[in-house]
Amino acid sequence: MNRPYRFLRLACFLLSAVIFTLSSAAQVISSEEIDKLVLRTMETFDVPGIAVAVVKDDKVIHSRGYGVSSLNTKRKVDPNTLFGIASNSKAFTAAALGMLVDEKKLDWNDRVTDIIPEFCLYDPYVTREFTVADLLTHRSGLGLGAGDLMIWPGRNDFKLDDIIHNLRYLKPVSSFRTKYDYDNLLYIVAGEVVARISGMSWNDFIEKRIMEPLGMTGSASTYSRLKDISNVIDPHAPVNGKVQVIGRNFNEVADAAAGIYSNISDMSKWIIMQMNHGRYGEGQGKQLFSEAIHRTMWSPHTIIQVRESAEYKTHFASYGLGWRLNDIMGYKQVGHTGGLGGIVTQVTLIPEIKLGIIVFTNQQSGAAFRAITNTILDSWFGIKGADRVKQYSEAEKKDFADAKAITDDIWKNIESQKLSSFRTDNSVYTGTYTDDWFGTVTVTERDGKLWFASERSIDLTGEMFFFRGNTFIVKWNDRSLDADAYVMFCLDNTGKANGMTMEAISPLTDFSYDFQDLDFSRYK
């Protein structure tokens, strides 16, 4: 036997041993250790309730709830407690379209305008060339979260027709199919494609064609369709420094992007089916979607720039159809996160070793679910000595401190203005202003103070404070929004405001508050 051949045999043996160890070993982190991890995480990040499931080799090896579903009711979280899974809904929308492709009712390369003739983007060329697959890949050329103020905050009156019509007013920030910028609105359009091709609503399709076959009996495509709300979480968020229950603030027009409610018991069935390439049921004898559709959804479509990670040996990242894809410790990682007001979730799959991790929380700390997921991953990959709870807590504290320094400086400046003799002429700014896609807002004077009020999104109402020049800060009445913003007026040649733009003041403001995309003109 020659030496190269012996070396090759040895290399193959060692590789097989590693694969065998990862794929067949007993659970590396015990359920008791996960319990301790989650309880420490809840205390560190002030999260009232968390649910965690771990799936290995098609078996649920851990499924537990922790804490309470609501600080008001004190009901305990269990594996059947329902959470809004937020943007983890996107994979369901992609699967629904894939099923229609399997049925030859649709093709990924079909033009959206052939299905929805009124679909129109800012650029006529992009409108003409936009395909069904483009709806799912975050490469439209629109900016991060463009137009999300039509769906968030949720108490607004924007309907599906409004969203489809108003897409034409959103200006691109990059060339078509060249850059990743996460969006929600085009998933809403994708949901309408499902409806028009299948002849049933997106909600009916998801429940009847996906959830029912998989036995996801507790889940629903949206909160209002839940059959039983006795075991559903309340969302929580810090308000004036204290975590408390906040409103369930979501416009169900966005269900195809973020509307599904589920629990870790049902979602375990979903990820087992995903890791079996669309197969499910006894002996994996049934097929929800084909192998070809599975490969398409889990193949890179849009490149995502990442900083190379020595920690997990991550070098590449991309977006498939409804899933984020990257390499981790030499393995393919498939997953997604989701966030609503007061709720954040994460689903993580390592398909080659058939490992799945689900973490649902009822407080909007993304650091909490990352700490849990990555600690569990560390155990399977043999990473020793990392304290993810401490690591992410310190990073979060730094981010919060940096943001607080910015906002504190602004409010200090405003307070100093109040003590000075300078007074603004409020009549310069009062009036009605309109934006092409967001609609009408009013700036009025009450008791010597300026007030901002959106006609279509009633939660965006608050007092305006003079900052400097022709710039004000609007402080939203609903303090759970955590999205105070600059309002910058421009004046005409008479010295009266004839328009205004906006921008979030904190770098931690969620991207769905896309104030920077608004361009108001005086209406009257």
Same domain for 357 and 444: no
Same domain for 271 and 184: yes
Specify the pLDDT at position 27.
57
pLDDT band at 416 (very low <50, low <70, confident <90, very high): confident
Specify the pLDDT at position 421.
65
* 0.85 exceeded by pTM: yes
Is residue 233 one of the residues assigned to a domain? no
Specify the pLDDT at position 20.
40
Quick check: 309 pLDDT over 90? Answer: no
Q: What is the CATH number for 96?
A: 3.40.710.10
Please give the biggest Cα pair distance in the chain: 94
Backbone angles phi, psi at 52, to 5 degrees: -135, 135
Is residue 237 one of the residues assigned to a domain? no
Quick check: 346 pLDDT over 50? Answer: yes
Is residue 114 one of the residues assigned to a domain? yes
pLDDT band at 67 (very low <50, low <70, confident <90, very high): very high
- Structural tokens at position 234: 């309340």
Residue type, 47: V
Specify the pLDDT at position 135.
98
Specify the pLDDT at position 407.
93
pLDDT digits (tens, 9 = 90+) for 231-261: 999 999 999 889 999 999 889 999 999 999 9
Q: Distance between CA atoms of 229 and 226, rounded to whole angstroms?
A: 6
| Structure-model confidence comparison of residues 418 and 6, the more confident one | 418
Across 135-144, 356-365, 417-426, least confident range: 417-426
Specify the pLDDT at position 503.
97
Quick check: 502 pLDDT over 70? Answer: yes
Specify the pLDDT at position 484.
96
Average model confidence (pLDDT) for the chain?
93
Is residue 241 one of the residues assigned to a domain? no
| Structure-model confidence comparison of residues 393 and 308, the more confident one | 393
Q: Distance between CA atoms of 84 and 345, rounded to whole angstroms?
A: 8
Q: What is the arithmetic mean of pLDDT over 384-398?
A: 95
Is residue 231 one of the residues assigned to a domain? no
Same domain for 380 and 437: no
pLDDT band at 17 (very low <50, low <70, confident <90, very high): very low
Whether the upstream peptide bond of residue 153 has omega within 30° of 0, thus cis, is: yes
pLDDT digits (tens, 9 = 90+) for 85-130: 999 999 999 999 999 999 999 999 999 999 999 999 999 999 999 9
Same domain for 369 and 439: no
Is residue 234 one of the residues assigned to a domain? no
- Structural tokens at position 386: 């990392």
| Structure-model confidence comparison of residues 387 and 12, the more confident one | 387
Q: Distance between CA atoms of 407 and 260, rounded to whole angstroms?
A: 34
Are 381 and 329 within 8 A, CB to CB?
Answer: yes
Domain count, the chain: 2
Q: What is the DSSP string of 423-462?
A: ---GGGT-EEEEETTTEEEEEEEETTEEEEEESSBTT-EE
Across 26-30, 245-249, 258-262, 458-462, least confident range: 26-30
The closest alpha carbon to 520, from 457, 435, 441, 455, belongs to: 435
Backbone angles phi, psi at 477, to 5 degrees: -60, -40
Same domain for 406 and 381: no
| Helix or strand run (H / E) with residue 275 | helix 264-275
Same domain for 452 and 310: no
Bin 277: left if φ > 0, else alpha if -120 < ψ < 50, else beta: left
Same domain for 460 and 381: no
Domain housing 451: 402-522
Same domain for 406 and 265: no
Q: What is the arithmetic mean of pLDDT over 319-343?
A: 97
Quick check: 26 pLDDT over 90? Answer: no
Is residue 230 one of the residues assigned to a domain? no
pLDDT band at 3 (very low <50, low <70, confident <90, very high): very low
Specify the pLDDT at position 12.
44
Same domain for 107 and 17: yes
Q: Distance between CA atoms of 291 and 144, rounded to whole angstroms?
A: 32
Q: Distance between CA atoms of 413 and 169, rounded to whole angstroms?
A: 35
Specify the pLDDT at position 511.
93
pLDDT band at 310 (very low <50, low <70, confident <90, very high): confident
Is residue 393 one of the residues assigned to a domain? no
pLDDT digits (tens, 9 = 90+) for 160-179: 999 999 999 999 999 999 99
Q: Distance between CA atoms of 519 and 3, rounded to whole angstroms?
A: 71
Specify the pLDDT at position 423.
77
Specify the pLDDT at position 505.
96
Q: What is the arithmetic mean of pLDDT over 187-206?
A: 98
